[in-house]
Amino acid sequence: MKKILITGASRGIGRAAAILCASRGWAVGVNYVGNEAAALETVAAVQEAGGRGLAIKGDVACERDVIAMFDRAADAFGGLDGVVVNAGIVAPASKLADMAEARLRHIFEVNILGAYLCAREAARRLPLDRGGQGGSIVLISSVASRTGSPFEYVDYAGSKGAVDSLALGLGKELAGQGVRVNAVRPGVIETDIHASGGEPGRAQRIGLTVPIGRAGQPQEIAEAIVWLLSDASSYMTGSLLDLAGGR
């Protein structure tokens, strides 16, 4: 049985990954920041799918919260073998010229600082030379890191560029210590993130322009995440895996 912590697992891609992990019988820490009802729904779905679920509140951009969420999951499960650094946000579509400093700070704090703090915490616990058992870290980036998301979210796109770099560098740092690090780069996926950016129908609209002809489903990203967590991907590290329907 693997012991996994997923940030931002109350909804969307994180929730789908939690449920798929559970279907393998794995234990899953379900982190969320504010939506407790959604987190508890995910935990119920995890348990129904055959895994063990634990809801853990915490803001990934807050170091104290990140340390506490790792402690909580590791104490409950008896250690951790896998971490999915998934929590991420967008703000309403805008040109860079019109973005306020507060917005830029918030996006970078959650998407960059949050990802780095969570990956750092994993890098302090999983490696063999730090007393861990090895494992897998999966970072959730985006195809935005290579499209740049002009006129919508160049801030978000840049934050995902940082996540790509983290996968490339940390993958090499930990390769000799039994820990693999990879990033998944989804294209447009049907989740709540588009409504939080002010356009609930964005995934369907963009989906029509994707070569495959539609937006993706969270479960289609979860398949890759679980594969990267599993021993089936044992020779893959420091890589970026695009799941974007040909985009």
Using CA atoms, how far apart are residues 184 and 167, in angstroms rounded to an integer? 10
Of the pair 56, 179, the CB lying nearest ligand NAP is at 56
Considering only 20, 21, 38, 113, the residue that binds ligand NAP (CB under 6 A) is 38
Considering only 4, 10, 18, 136, the residue that binds ligand NAP (CB under 6 A) is 10
* Smallest gap from residue 128 Cβ to ligand NAP (A): 28
Residue 145 within binding range of ligand NAP, rule CB under 6 A? no
Q: Is 156 a catalytic residue?
A: yes
Helix (H) or strand (E) holding 66: helix 63-77
Residue 140 within binding range of ligand NAP, rule CB under 6 A? yes
Residue 34 within binding range of ligand NAP, rule CB under 6 A? yes
CA-based nearest residue to 85, from 46, 43, 29: 29
Using CA atoms, how far apart are residues 90 and 111, in angstroms rounded to an integer? 9
DSSP annotation string for 104-151? HHHHHIIIIIHHHHHHHHHHHHSSGGGT---EEEEEE--THHHH--TT
Considering only 51, 88, 135, 245, the residue that binds ligand NAP (CB under 6 A) is 88
Structure token pair of residue 181: 């690090």
Residue 192 within binding range of ligand NAP, rule CB under 6 A? yes
* Smallest gap from residue 158 Cβ to ligand NAP (A): 12
Of the pair 210, 236, the CB lying nearest ligand NAP is at 210
CA-based nearest residue to 80, from 179, 227, 219, 166: 179
Which positions ≥6 away from 179 have C-beta within 8 Å?
A: 122, 123, 126, 127, 132, 134, 135, 136, 137
Of the pair 2, 11, the CB lying nearest ligand NAP is at 11
Q: Total residues at the site for ligand NAP (CB under 6 A)?
A: 32
Residue 157 within binding range of ligand NAP, rule CB under 6 A? no
Residue 86 within binding range of ligand NAP, rule CB under 6 A? yes
Residue 152 within binding range of ligand NAP, rule CB under 6 A? no
User: What amino acid positions are annotated as catalytic residues?
Assistant: 156
Q: Which residues bind ligand NAP (CB under 6 A)?
A: 7-14, 31-35, 38, 59-61, 86-89, 110, 114, 140, 142, 186, 188-189, 191-193, 196
